[in-house]
A and B are shown apart, each in its own frame.
Chain A
Amino acid sequence: MGQNFKCFFLLCFLILLYVCGLLIFAKGFLLKRVVVERNSSCKVDFAMQSDMHGEKGCWMHVRYKKAIIIVIDALRYDFASYDSTANDSIPYKNRLTFIKNSLMKPNNAKLYKFIADPPTTTLQRLKGLTTGSLPTFVDAGSNFASSEITEDNFIDQLIRHNKRIKFLGDDTWIGLFPNRFYKQFPYPSFNVKDLHTVDDGVLKHLYKEQNKNDWEVLVAHFLGVDHCGHRYGPNHSAMRDKLSQMNDMIRNVTRLMKDDTILFVMGDHGMTKTGDHGGDSKDELEAALFVYSPAQITSQHNLWKERDTISQIDFVPTISLLLGIPIPFSNLGQVIEELFTHCPWWQTTSDIKKVYHSTKALRLNAKQISYYLTSYYEYSSDFPIQKYYELQNLLDHAEKDLQALVTAMVKDGATRDITEDLKILRGHYIEYISEVGKICKGIWAKFDMMSISIGILTLILAISTNIYYIRISDSSEVPNTVVILILYCVVYLTYAVFQTFFVGETLSAFMVYILAVVGIIMIWILTFNFSAPEAVPETCLSLNINNIFSWMIMLLYFVLFFSNSFVVHEDSVTLFYTQTLSWIFCFKSIQSFLVKYDTSQLDQKAKRHKTQHKTYDIMRTLTQPSILAIFVTLLLNVLVRFSSNFRACREEQWTCSLSLFLYPLASLPDELTSYRNVRYFFSVGCVIFFLLAIRKYVKHSGNFQGNSAGIICIKYIYPVCGVAIALHWALQGLPQPILDALPVWQQIFLPRLVYILLFISFIATTIKPLTIHLLPKQEKFSVQADGTVIPQVYNKIKQNFKDEKEAEHPPIVFGLGTTYSSALINFVVIFYLLLVLLLGDGTSPSLLFAFLSVWLFLEVYTASGTFTKMVFSGDESSGFGLTKACKVNNIWPPVVFMSTLFSTYFYSTGHQATVPSIKWESAFTGFHGDFYYNIIPAILITLNTFAAEVFYSVLCPLLVIWPLTDGLFLKSMATKKEEPGHWKGDFLLLEDEDVYKQMLFRLFSSMFFFQGIKVLGSMCAAALHRRHLMVWKIFAPRFVFAAVSSFAVFGFTLLTYLIIINIHHALTRWVKQLEQKKKK
């Protein structure tokens, strides 16, 4: 008991070390930006108030009194632009005919490519579109907890200038701008399956509200196109309907517009070919912006080349100046100067006016940016000082030139030269604005090298501690030096956390470095000086083929993270590693079978043999252990290779095409619709197969008797869950309109039923984990006569209580030989069903393949392991005691294999280490859209994304337990059947309690070590490549995924450990009870 919790505590401490290292690193690596909370004011000295014409405005005159901003979420540029060559059958092409028609009047309408700054998630984009500043990586994570914008933005500026804003649509806006709107009609945005609620709601109010005269700015945010993309992808007929609906909406809105109103129709981001967004591919970044007004907005000229591509932040200064409000304080965008080349109040249409007017807008913009820069400079010293003064100089020169020009203009009147001069000036302003933008992007991509290095050092410290743990697991007692180590690490951790999170970059960081290095050296000295009390024949450092290859594969895995193309193709690479290791194990087991094979007399014998036995028995050859091992390995390979069909494609894998299993069942592409039923029944078949196999296994090992909680679960609850899951999938396969017509409770009933049932069985099996059945004595014979059940009759109790030899009838217990494994398998089933439900019908079969490949591997491993050697070498006298078996058993190679196997299955469950490939829709299994807390969707999405890791953590104790339970394979190989009394199965673990705990501790430490190496690799690669072109696309996401997946493994491994301890305690209690009963 004490030992167990000591180990548990040690593992917790190790996790703390890892987590601290990761967080410190993440703090330095994932960038943040200082928010300057200042607002622009109306009266500034640089705004020329003198030459007002038209309506009075703040920095510039009011050009339009009213503005309508229509955000169509995920409106990609090619949705809006007209392509005469496009095939009419493409659902998303040429649907917005209104835009095309209105572009015939080039002075009234403009269409731009509207480039978003990554990350392309709606919240980030709205921040950019209202404040005009650039997002950083960290913001991306807060998409679900949309917080109020505190930076200056044009919404707040509008309100400050007494403009009334009406809002309709996506409720993300309400989270960003609570209590800002004069009137609001928000609709929930999270339910991506719902294509129509938001749009219909907006349309219901839009025209009515537009016709009223109580607004200056009207914002409408439509979500249908985005949700359609998420649900069906752009290539679906639903997209055609949606875009046509949007087209009608735009036409109707423009009909109701008056001359004093300007309309902006924009997409906040694009979408990939699969309809997702979040990353920074061309398709995701290129949104559309359409500007329209019944009155003339721009004028024809050929003074400069017009831009057709603008940045999204450029919208902010443009709308601010058009509506006559100040540009938000922290804006970095550049006004769209074409929209300032016409004023209805002008009498003439001279070029000078056009240039002058637009230059004025640019000047205001540049001035605002210079103000922002100055105050940002006060807050943070990031900005390179030399560059800052250079830019300031540029601006000052431009200012002087402008003054001179204005004076000249007043003196001499308009001449041609002035136009040219103005054009040069204009160029200066544009240069200033774009330079500042570029530099800001650069400094907000500035890394905190101190935190990065401390994080890496902390992780190395954690890994060293981990190695020390593996080392001390050779002895059954935890040495006392651990206490010193823990105290030292605690001191170091406090220091490091304090330094990184509170002190910042100072000289005292050296202290942390020194502490870390001393700690690492100390741990290594401890590790080398530690000597196990008993000699261990085979450790993870012994030179044999298993060990060499596992270390090599681990090293290769570590190195993999440093190459972008290997990270991109990590799915194939891990497959390659897994297959390699599986063959190594196969080879090892063949070697251990054939070690005794006598080849010396074979040459002579062979010929004689042949002449004697002409009949060649093919079955005998096929059931040879070595041939069998090859077949099992081949089957394992086939399973792993086949499950690569469930892989998702990442954008960089340009040759990859999305497989049948990755589409939602309801919206398979046309050429695959015929496979719909096949796929559905395949997935359901996999669930049924799994449940039947488990049932069969439990029955076979004799744990199917009696009425204990676990058995009832297997008998009744799990099949019910399976049926519910199958029905739920069938429901999801219905066409969207039919599904939407169902009441909400019907849509969520089935998954919730599964959740509740699984929860109940979890609790029940936690309270009563044992699935053994003690047979009352009088029934003994009737059951033995039953031929169908193969009870594992267990006589061990007799030996256990040797002093009670007089007992004639030893109690008969069913399934005692597989107590641990069947109790654990109960939990495995629970997690399997949960994960299958979350993965959905597409990718869930790969979880079955994962399970089967683990089973096959365990068979081969058991055979290859030293256990077999003990069986074959005939160490009968000791009865192949666990203590001995464990001492010679080396857990490291199988751990490496399992870790790489499940790294492969991370990809084979339809995931990739990129943000767009996260399956957000998994948050809706059993829930319908609106969440009060973000914790539930976060848990569901994590479980979906790291399904393989979670499953691995639950399965891993089988590595210790399985070799003892005598797999089918081992049985078929054993030349001589052991007498039943000898076989104790995993009940041995209770006998040799200390060794058992020691083995578990070693297993978990080894698992953590592999995870730690993976994380360290991704971390070092991210730090090393921090200036790499692909850092935000490849290395940073890889680091984040590695970190979160190791969190998942740590957490669920601890849970599994608790489960194991619980089983162990229950068994101890049960044996005690039996003992007491006996005594009576």
Chain B
Amino acid sequence: MSAPMANRLPAKETLNSLLKGHLIFSISTLMLLFFSITNENLFSIVKYRFIVTKLFIFFISVFNIIFYNFLNIQGGISQRNAGILSKIRIILKNGLLLFCSSIFFHVIAVLFGAPFLESSAETFHFGMTMSATVVLPALCVMGTSTGHWIRIFAQNSPELGAESIVYFSAICSIIGAWLGAFPIPLDWDRPWQEWPITCVVGTLFGYCTGVIIGAAHLYINYYRIKRIKIT
């Protein structure tokens, strides 16, 4: 159960549910994001930045947790058979990791030039967004196994399937957050140019794009490899 499949190709059903779930999820998130940018009152990310950011984080986390853990999607390792006590331990461990990673991203944001003490709430919201898009999906798929993390992120060789989607979405989120910083110094005097908004939007946008890219990559490669195998 826990061992990855020998041929490193997900099953057809897994593929389908992965593709469908992710596409529906990312497109709906993109639409929500679009709505929250263009809308000026209800659900506007400029006006209610904290609540809207938290909602997005909640949305993404809930999707990932449910999708990978309860819908029986074949990820890397799964602790389904573990007892209730170890389950609690895992949840606590993951929660702690998420919290630490939020702090880590907060620190990184400050090091990259975010204000040190002022608007630290904003910075922390950015950190939470980052950990929700980068760390949380990876945790859902691979758990806390160092080996998997190293193989995927340091050696750039994720398995085709959930791992490759996580890999692409994480990288695209980071790139999106990075690109999101560029409109801040411009002198357009728009309210959305304030510190975390562009970066949070960039992260979310990057995450969704990453998920779509990952899904496309999965789809294309799956059939390519399959054809090779058949012939």
Q: Are B187 and A565 touching (Cβ within 8 A)?
A: yes
Q: Give the one of B107, B113, B187 with max A CB within 10 A.
A: B113
Q: Are A572 and B147 touching (Cβ within 8 A)?
A: no
Pick the contact of B150: A563, A580, A594 (CB < 8 A): A594
Considering the chains assembled together, what is the distance between the CA atoms of A580 and B156 in angstroms? 19
Interface assignment of B223: CB less than 8 Å from any CB of chain A: no
Considering the chains assembled together, what is the distance between the CA atoms of A839 and B214 in angstroms? 52
Q: Are B155 and A591 touching (Cβ within 8 A)?
A: yes
Query: Which residues of the partner chain B approach A599 to less than 8 Å between Cβ atoms?
Result: 147-148, 150-151, 155
Interface assignment of A606: CB less than 8 Å from any CB of chain B: yes
Considering the chains assembled together, what is the distance between the CA atoms of A516 and B187 in angstroms? 38
Interface assignment of B219: CB less than 8 Å from any CB of chain A: no
Instruction: Please give me the residue from chain A that is nearest to B2 by CB atom.
Output: A603
Question: In the complex, how many angstroms separate the beta carbon of A786 from the nearest chain B beta carbon?
Answer: 43
Instruction: Please give me the residue from chain B that is nearest to A580 by CB atom.
Output: B178
Query: Which residues of the partner chain A approach B146 to less than 8 Å between Cβ atoms?
Result: 602, 606
Instruction: Please give me the residue from chain A that is nearest to B156 by CB atom.
Output: A591
Query: Which residues of the partner chain B approach A564 to less than 8 Å between Cβ atoms?
Result: 187
Q: Are A603 and B147 touching (Cβ within 8 A)?
A: yes
Contact A576/B112 with A597-B150, A603-B147 known, Cβ cut-off 8 Å: yes
Contact A641/B113 with A569-B185, A580-B178, A603-B3 known, Cβ cut-off 8 Å: yes
Q: Are B178 and A572 touching (Cβ within 8 A)?
A: no
Q: Are B154 and A591 touching (Cβ within 8 A)?
A: yes
Considering the chains assembled together, what is the distance between the CA atoms of A1030 and B7 in angstroms? 63
Q: Are A637 and B154 touching (Cβ within 8 A)?
A: no
Q: Residues 17-35 of chain A: 1 if any B CB is under 8 Å from the residue's CB, otherwise 0?
A: 0000000000000000000
Considering the chains assembled together, what is the distance between the CA atoms of A566 and B185 in angstroms? 6
Query: Which residues of the partner chain B approach A640 to less than 8 Å between Cβ atoms?
Result: 111
Pick the contact of B185: A568, A597, A634 (CB < 8 A): A568
Contact A576/B181 with A565-B187, A594-B150, A637-B111 known, Cβ cut-off 8 Å: yes
Query: Which residues of the partner chain B approach A568 to less than 8 Å between Cβ atoms?
Result: 185, 187
Interface assignment of B228: CB less than 8 Å from any CB of chain A: no
Query: Which residues of the partner chain B approach A634 to less than 8 Å between Cβ atoms?
Result: 107, 111
Considering the chains assembled together, what is the distance between the CA atoms of A563 and B148 in angstroms? 43
Q: Are B111 and A579 touching (Cβ within 8 A)?
A: yes
Question: In the complex, how many angstroms separate the beta carbon of B145 from the nearest chain A beta carbon?
Answer: 6
- List residues of B (124-149) whose CB comes within 8 Å of A's CBs: 145-148
Query: Which residues of the partner chain B approach A575 to less than 8 Å between Cβ atoms?
Result: 112-113
Instruction: Please give me the residue from chain B that is nearest to A607 by CB atom.
Output: B2
Considering the chains assembled together, what is the distance between the CA atoms of A573 and B155 in angstroms? 30
Query: Which residues of the partner chain B approach A595 to less than 8 Å between Cβ atoms?
Result: 155
Q: Residues 1-29 of chain B: 1 if any A CB is under 8 Å from the residue's CB, otherwise 0?
A: 01110000000000000000000000000
- List residues of B (66-94) whose CB comes within 8 Å of A's CBs: 77
Interface assignment of B110: CB less than 8 Å from any CB of chain A: yes
Q: Give the one of B110, B147, B155 with max A CB within 10 A.
A: B147
Main secondary structure of the interface of B (DSSP, over half): loop
**Number of B interface residues in the complex (CB < 8 A):** 24
Query: Which residues of the partner chain B approach A573 to less than 8 Å between Cβ atoms?
Result: 185
Question: In the complex, how many angstroms separate the beta carbon of B227 from the nearest chain A beta carbon?
Answer: 26
Instruction: Please give me the residue from chain A that is nearest to B152 by CB atom.
Output: A599
Considering the chains assembled together, what is the distance between the CA atoms of A595 and B150 in angstroms? 9
Considering the chains assembled together, what is the distance between the CA atoms of A641 and B110 in angstroms? 8
Considering the chains assembled together, what is the distance between the CA atoms of A777 and B96 in angstroms? 62
Interface assignment of B117: CB less than 8 Å from any CB of chain A: no
Interface assignment of A638: CB less than 8 Å from any CB of chain B: yes
Query: Which residues of the partner chain A approach B156 to less than 8 Å between Cβ atoms?
Result: 591
Pick the contact of A572: B4, B111, B113 (CB < 8 A): B113
Pick the contact of A597: B77, B112, B155, B181 (CB < 8 A): B155
Considering the chains assembled together, what is the distance between the CA atoms of A566 and B77 in angstroms? 47
Query: Which residues of the partner chain B approach A835 to less than 8 Å between Cβ atoms?
Result: none
Question: In the complex, how many angstroms separate the beta carbon of A1033 from the nearest chain B beta carbon?
Answer: 13
- List residues of B (171-191) whose CB comes within 8 Å of A's CBs: 178, 181, 185-187
**Number of A interface residues in the complex (CB < 8 A):** 28
Interface assignment of A792: CB less than 8 Å from any CB of chain B: no
Interface assignment of A153: CB less than 8 Å from any CB of chain B: no
Interface assignment of A15: CB less than 8 Å from any CB of chain B: no
Instruction: Please give me the residue from chain B that is nearest to A570 by CB atom.
Output: B185
Interface assignment of A917: CB less than 8 Å from any CB of chain B: no
- List residues of A (615-637) whose CB comes within 8 Å of B's CBs: 626, 634, 637
Q: Give the one of A599, A626, A637 with max B CB within 10 A.
A: A599
Q: Are B111 and A563 touching (Cβ within 8 A)?
A: no
Interface assignment of A590: CB less than 8 Å from any CB of chain B: yes
Considering the chains assembled together, what is the distance between the CA atoms of A563 and B188 in angstroms? 12
Considering the chains assembled together, what is the distance between the CA atoms of A573 and B187 in angstroms? 14
Q: Residues 460-498 of chain A: 1 if any B CB is under 8 Å from the residue's CB, otherwise 0?
A: 000000000000000000000000000000000000000
Considering the chains assembled together, what is the distance between the CA atoms of A591 and B113 in angstroms? 26
Query: Which residues of the partner chain A approach B77 to less than 8 Å between Cβ atoms?
Result: 603
Query: Which residues of the partner chain B approach A638 to less than 8 Å between Cβ atoms?
Result: 111
- List residues of A (553-609) whose CB comes within 8 Å of B's CBs: 563-566, 568-569, 572-573, 575-576, 579-580, 590-591, 594-595, 597, 599, 602-603, 606
Q: Are B3 and A594 touching (Cβ within 8 A)?
A: no
Q: Are A563 and B178 touching (Cβ within 8 A)?
A: no
Q: Are A594 and B111 touching (Cβ within 8 A)?
A: no
Query: Which residues of the partner chain B approach A591 to less than 8 Å between Cβ atoms?
Result: 154-156
Instruction: Please give me the residue from chain B that is nearest to A639 by CB atom.
Output: B111
Q: Are A597 and B113 touching (Cβ within 8 A)?
A: no
Instruction: Please give me the residue from chain B that is nearest to A569 by CB atom.
Output: B185
Question: In the complex, how many angstroms separate the beta carbon of A255 from the nearest chain B beta carbon?
Answer: 52
Considering the chains assembled together, what is the distance between the CA atoms of A13 and B145 in angstroms? 57
Q: Give the one of A572, A575, A595 with max B CB within 10 A.
A: A572
Instruction: Please give me the residue from chain B that is nearest to A637 by CB atom.
Output: B111
Question: In the complex, how many angstroms separate the beta carbon of A638 from the nearest chain B beta carbon?
Answer: 7
Question: In the complex, how many angstroms separate the beta carbon of B181 from the nearest chain A beta carbon?
Answer: 6
Considering the chains assembled together, what is the distance between the CA atoms of A564 and B188 in angstroms? 11
Question: In the complex, how many angstroms separate the beta carbon of B99 from the nearest chain A beta carbon?
Answer: 18
Considering the chains assembled together, what is the distance between the CA atoms of A568 and B185 in angstroms? 9
Query: Which residues of the partner chain B approach A566 to less than 8 Å between Cβ atoms?
Result: 185-186
Instruction: Please give me the residue from chain B that is nearest to A590 by CB atom.
Output: B154
Q: Are A579 and B150 touching (Cβ within 8 A)?
A: no
Considering the chains assembled together, what is the distance between the CA atoms of A595 and B154 in angstroms? 8
Q: Are B155 and A572 touching (Cβ within 8 A)?
A: no
Query: Which residues of the partner chain B approach A594 to less than 8 Å between Cβ atoms?
Result: 150, 154-155
Considering the chains assembled together, what is the distance between the CA atoms of A602 and B155 in angstroms? 15
Query: Which residues of the partner chain A approach B150 to less than 8 Å between Cβ atoms?
Result: 594, 597, 599
Considering the chains assembled together, what is the distance between the CA atoms of A638 and B113 in angstroms? 11
Pick the contact of A606: B110, B147, B181 (CB < 8 A): B147
Question: In the complex, how many angstroms separate the beta carbon of B194 from the nearest chain A beta carbon?
Answer: 12
Pick the contact of B147: A565, A576, A602 (CB < 8 A): A602
Question: In the complex, how many angstroms separate the beta carbon of B188 from the nearest chain A beta carbon?
Answer: 8
Q: Are B185 and A565 touching (Cβ within 8 A)?
A: yes
Query: Which residues of the partner chain A approach B154 to less than 8 Å between Cβ atoms?
Result: 590-591, 594, 597, 626
Query: Which residues of the partner chain A approach B185 to less than 8 Å between Cβ atoms?
Result: 565-566, 568-569, 572-573
Considering the chains assembled together, what is the distance between the CA atoms of A634 and B108 in angstroms? 8
Considering the chains assembled together, what is the distance between the CA atoms of A566 and B181 in angstroms? 12
Query: Which residues of the partner chain B approach A565 to less than 8 Å between Cβ atoms?
Result: 185-187
Contact A579/B147 with A591-B155, A594-B154, A603-B2 known, Cβ cut-off 8 Å: no
19 example contacts (A-B, Cβ-Cβ < 8 A) are as follows: A563-B186, A565-B187, A566-B185, A566-B186, A568-B185, A576-B113, A579-B113, A580-B178, A591-B154, A597-B150, A599-B148, A602-B147, A603-B2, A603-B148, A634-B107, A637-B111, A637-B112, A641-B112, A644-B113
Q: A568-B187, A597-B150 are in contact. List 14 more A-B contacts (CB 8 A).
A: A563-B186, A564-B187, A565-B185, A565-B187, A579-B111, A591-B155, A594-B150, A599-B148, A602-B145, A603-B2, A603-B3, A603-B147, A634-B107, A640-B111
Residues of B within 8 A of A (CB): 2-4, 77, 107-108, 110-113, 145-148, 150-151, 154-156, 178, 181, 185-187
Residues of A within 8 A of B (CB): 563-566, 568-569, 572-573, 575-576, 579-580, 590-591, 594-595, 597, 599, 602-603, 606, 626, 634, 637-638, 640-641, 644
The 4 closest A-B pairs by CB, nearest first: A602-B147, A569-B185, A599-B151, A637-B111
